[in-house]
Amino acid sequence: MSFRIESDTLGEMRVPADALYGAQTARAVDNFPISVLRFQRAFIWALGLVKHAAAEANMALSLLDKRIGEAISKASLEVMEGKHDKHFVVDVFQTGSGTSTNMNANEVIANRALEILGLSRGDKKTIHPNDHVNMGQSTNDVIPTVMNVAAAYQIVKKLLPALELLETELSKKAEEFKDVVKSGRTHFQDAVPVTFGQEFSGYATMIRKSRRRILNALESLLELPIGGTATGTGLNAHPEFARLVVEKINELTGLRFRIADNRFEAMGTRDCCLEASAALRSLAVSLLKICNDLRILSSGPNTGINEIELPAVQPGSSIMPGKVNPVIVESTMLVAAQVIGYDCAIMESCRIGELELNMGFPLIAYDLLESIEILSNACTNLAVKCIRGITVNVERARQLAEKSPALVTVVAPRIGYDKAARVAKKMLAENKTIKQALIEEAGLSPAEVDEILDLLKIARGGIIR
């Protein structure tokens, strides 16, 4: 590999000859050889967007020479488009403010802007990463602004549509199965009947409420601390800088970001990200509940409940021929588990904010964006490859419902709790149907029993007196 020599305030550094970044990024690569994790495309896109908006604002305020500003603006747009992703090389596990990543962007944009002007990389006298690209900014307000923009945009453009799709598919199944009766189960024991429609309506509502929680959290993410610079005071930033930056971001995203009500809060904490992560964690827990139910209800086919069938999408065993496993729901459950873990890491990272600055920016940003990404993909996959193709084994479900000792609950108001309990015990001890047990133990006629044991009516809350 060939190198060129660049320098920063600590001295000279060897930089790969073909790298757009400079000395500070090269130093960070040496300092943080921790993992293979690099910031996602969504984060780099938002970073380019903020730098583009900053350049446009500084030109509008006559603080940045137009020739230089336009080159910076164009280079920043290229970063947004992903043309220079390979030059964003700093590990996620770095300085807690994210300074190395901010400088990575500043150096890439400065050197690319120089190329656009037909000049050589590293010509800091013409375009300086700090003086020009970072004008009116600090890492301390840029990185939390970037993470909010990236997270909010991904939520709106990817996660919310995925949740709407999943809710729609669950609601369709609720309607399709509205008259299909099954045994209810509580504590994994037989309970009074419900319909599959009722069960799936509960799932659809869980997703709908998750979407509402995420929308509520989104409001906090729309507050941007840009303009706060180093400690929230706005030192070295023009009073109109933040307003112009936010207006440009809104123009390019179509969202309604706003300047933070209090930049000291927005930079000293990441409570907005913690709130968003909590909403994502709640969604993950809901997905675990839904997927667990689907696995249980489809268990078998001969030794389990086997009331529903999930779409067969791949062979399930390398040794047992013909076995088919619920792989889509299991994949979703692994995503949910990972998101819960990310939420814990985000919480701990939010706890290490001290005084005027949170020290968990990079990890919070990475984990929050990863949660949004994998939840979006998992919900879409679950909706399309699983929920949409679920069928019910109607006769199997009815047979199990009719065998449930809990059916005696329906006659308890007529014959009393104690006598109803004796009927249930008789069913189990003598392997009798509920109809036989009611006739023998409760003294009801066959016609009365037939009228009482209307499973669909029971599932819909019918009361027998």
Instruction: Give residue-wise pLDDT tens across range 243-273.
Output: 999 999 999 999 999 999 999 999 999 999 9
The verdict on whether residue 323 carries a ligand-binding annotation is: yes
The confidence band for 432, taking pLDDT boundaries of 50, 70 and 90, is: confident
pLDDT at 462: 61
Predicted TM-score (pTM) above 0.75: yes
Q: Say whether pLDDT at 193 is over 80.
A: yes
**Among 187, 220, 299, 376, the one annotated catalytic:** 187
Neighbours of 9 (CB within 10 A): 7
Q: Say whether pLDDT at 463 is over 70.
A: no
pLDDT at 326: 96
Higher-scoring residue by pLDDT: 297, 443: 297
Fold of 404-459: Ribonucleotide Reductase Protein R1; domain 1 (1.10.40)
The verdict on whether residue 202 carries a ligand-binding annotation is: no
pLDDT at 7: 92
pLDDT at 450: 85
C-alpha span between 160 and 164 (Å, rounded): 6
* 84 labelled catalytic: no
Give me the percent of the chain exceeding a pLDDT of 90.
87
Q: Say whether pLDDT at 149 is over 80.
A: yes
Q: Say whether pLDDT at 396 is over 60.
A: yes
The confidence band for 353, taking pLDDT boundaries of 50, 70 and 90, is: confident
Q: Which of 86-90, 327-331, 447-451 has the lowest mean pLDDT?
A: 447-451
Q: What is the mean pLDDT of the chain?
A: 95
> 56: which residues sit within 8 A by CB, 6+ positions away?
69, 73, 244, 245, 248
Taking residues 433-437, report their average pLDDT: 86
Report pLDDT digits (tens) over 223-242: 999 999 999 999 999 999 99
Report pLDDT digits (tens) over 110-132: 999 999 999 999 999 999 999 99
**Among 62, 120, 317, 445, the one annotated catalytic:** 317
Q: Say whether pLDDT at 48 is over 70.
A: yes
pLDDT at 437: 87
* 187 labelled catalytic: yes
pLDDT at 433: 83
Q: What top-level class would CATH report for the domain 3-135?
A: mainly alpha
The verdict on whether residue 318 carries a ligand-binding annotation is: yes
The verdict on whether residue 98 carries a ligand-binding annotation is: yes
Residues carrying CATH 1.10.40.30, the chain = 404-459
Q: What top-level class would CATH report for the domain 141-235+247-394?
A: mainly alpha
The verdict on whether residue 128 carries a ligand-binding annotation is: yes
Q: Say whether pLDDT at 465 is over 60.
A: no
pLDDT at 335: 98
Residues carrying CATH 1.20.200.10, the chain = 141-235+247-394
Taking residues 78-84, report their average pLDDT: 98
